[in-house]
Chains A and B, each alone.
Chain A
Amino acid sequence: MNIPSRTEAQQRADDIRVFRQELERLEREGVLALTEAQRSAVADHHSGLLAQYAQSFDIDSDVRAKQLSLGMRIASFLGALALAASVFFLFYQFWGRFSETAQVAILLGAALGTFAATVWIQGRDASGYFTKLAAMVAFACFVIDIAMLGQIFNITPSDKALLPWAALALLLAYTCDLRLLLAVGLLCLIGFVAARAGTWGGLYWLDFGERPENFFPAAAALFFVPQLIGHRHFAGFAATYRVFGLLSLFLPILVLAHWGRGSYLELDPDVLEGFYQLLGFVGSAAAIWFGARRCWPEVVNSGVAFFVIFLYTKFFDWWWAIMPKYLFFLVLGLTAILLLVALRRLRAAGYRLPGGAS
């Protein structure tokens, strides 16, 4: 049996647990009765699979273990952030006491050493939590390495530094199956593409955030990457690409919907804000429809979240100052109910579609 990732092993283990519960119910209700031989064969097969997964991936074998593993995920994330900050401040506090040669050697040694440690830990950590922690520290050490070289030698800041950072984050993400590092790598890539889009227009690269439209090329690229490159063996990676693609699209639209002066277009700011508000509503509604059609729950959820944000910010603009507060919040509540009804109808329509979202 070839199980390519820990996530898929966990999914299969969850399916087995649900299957066992449902089989028990069906037998109790007299709908299905397996022979002793069949029952034994299924039980042996499942036990073998679970034992193999537990040995290879340290999966959660029951609901309690699953709850604990959520806590472990949070702890490993916070621990990774804290350790990365600790490494930064450790170097920052003592770097001035070393010669430039020693500073470069320490920075390079820390980046290489933590990366080697991550690869070593990955081979011994079936749970993946310690690998994630080590990978974040390795990435932080590499970022500190390049950033401090810039400070030590007064190098002119450049967006090109984002490329090796993105490359290392993606290498760690794909070899260690870490979505957190994938997200970090995608953020670096989004920053690089947006900065390049700005410099192609003749702007200084660090000003790329002042023209939110610079993020649109990155949004389009990220959304369609999973369509071009298969991510079958990387559970959740395709969804992460799509979510970051949508964030790179809708967050700039949200900013432009309230700050028309930030646009490249030399039109009346009020007209531009109206245009981007409309684009926000149409775009988020299209994301809900497209996500439901393609069975991409993360796209539907992102679309719904941004549709609600666009709607509520518009309500705030229109009515917060002129309405009594009880009426304003009543309108918000009624809108939420209306949205629920609309989504329910969409869900019902999805059932009727061949292969539709359910």
Chain B
Amino acid sequence: MMTWSRARTFVAGAALILAANAVALVGVAYNRSGEADSLLRLTQRELQLPYGWGLEGESSGFVLTLRWRVPVEESADARVPAMPYQGGAPAWLDKGKLTALGFDVSWPEGTDRGRMHYGKQLARETLLVLELDGPACQQALERARRHVASEEALQAANPGSKEFERRAEGARRGLVQEERVSSRLFLIDAGLDAAALRAKYPDRARYAIVRGQVRPWVIGDKTKSRLSGRVTLSANRINVPHAFRPVFEPLLHGLRRGRPEAEPPFEVAVAFGQRLEPWITAASGKTAAKTDN
């Protein structure tokens, strides 16, 4: 046994506990100091209310989950609905971008050796750019409108056909989803230099730079393959401070799970600070008065 007196042991342990807490809290204070790096006004389309399943059901805290999307290629099949919330391989994440992020992309992705090489590559930390209701969102909307026009033209050319009637109805539902339900937050770029990304995307109310990870991913089979990447966000979940509980508590009552179009409307101002970590600065809901922090 270490021959320390109890007083000395207590002082050492207390100093350790206090120092660890101090480091964490100083980091939080630094993140929230000065002008925020970006401030986005998000709605229920971009933030998911807690499900309350599993361990979450034991918690009295509220955590909102960011819903973000990736732009799809213009050439992608319009009949395949765009992911309304999350996932997929961004069209812009190609070989050149992966090289800029520090990955070795010298092997052809169509060969066995190349597939093994990219399969072994793990995620690297990167900075990601999220765009709110910008050109990527408009592009998705235009794509859905074009799809409706194309399906309605086919329906008109094939009168009485149940199949084309069903397809046109599906396309119209997709457009409504795109206009009213799907997230308007798109992942549009990645890089390693925060200053360079901010210079490229100066609008702090539309573009947020966040931390995340990118991992190379070969899409397709040997005959037709493309090198892209899978993206994850570090701070995907945002804690709701106690001051904003009155905004969200009424929203959770009567919430119909699995019906995103029926989710109650709310608006939240999310700031991303000096360390690119998010926090909620204001929130308002349909059933409660607007609260500012």
Contacts and interface: CB of A to CB of B under 8 A. Distances in A.
Interface of A: 4-6, 89, 92-100, 103-104, 107-108, 111-112, 115-116, 119-120, 122-123, 142, 145-146, 149-157, 164, 167-168, 171-172, 174-177, 198, 202-204, 207, 210-211, 233-234, 261, 264, 266
Nearest first, the 9 A-B pairs at minimum CB distance are A96-B60, A96-B61, A164-B20, A177-B1, A204-B123, A174-B2, A153-B28, A204-B213, A175-B9
A99 B243 contact: yes
B116 interface: yes
Contacts of B16: 164, 167-168, 171
A96 B252 CA distance: 15
A93 B24 contact: no
Nearest to B280: A154
Secondary structure of the A contact surface, majority rule = helix
A5 B278 CA distance: 50
A100 B280 CA distance: 13
A123 B7 CA distance: 11
Interface string B209-243: 00101000000000000000000001101110111
Nearest to B14: A112
5 contacts: A146-B20, A175-B1, A175-B2, A202-B124, A261-B119
Contacts, number: 141
B242 A97 contact: yes
B259 interface: no
B152 interface: no
B245 interface: yes
A315 to B, nearest CB: 29
A157 B239 contact: no
A151 B120 contact: no
B201 interface: no
Given A145-B21, A156-B234, A266-B117, A204 B122 contact: yes
Contacts of B12: 171
B189 interface: no
A155 B1 contact: no
Given A154-B239, A203-B123, A89 B58 contact: yes
B81 interface: no
A100 B241 contact: yes
Contacts of B33: none
A96 B59 contact: yes
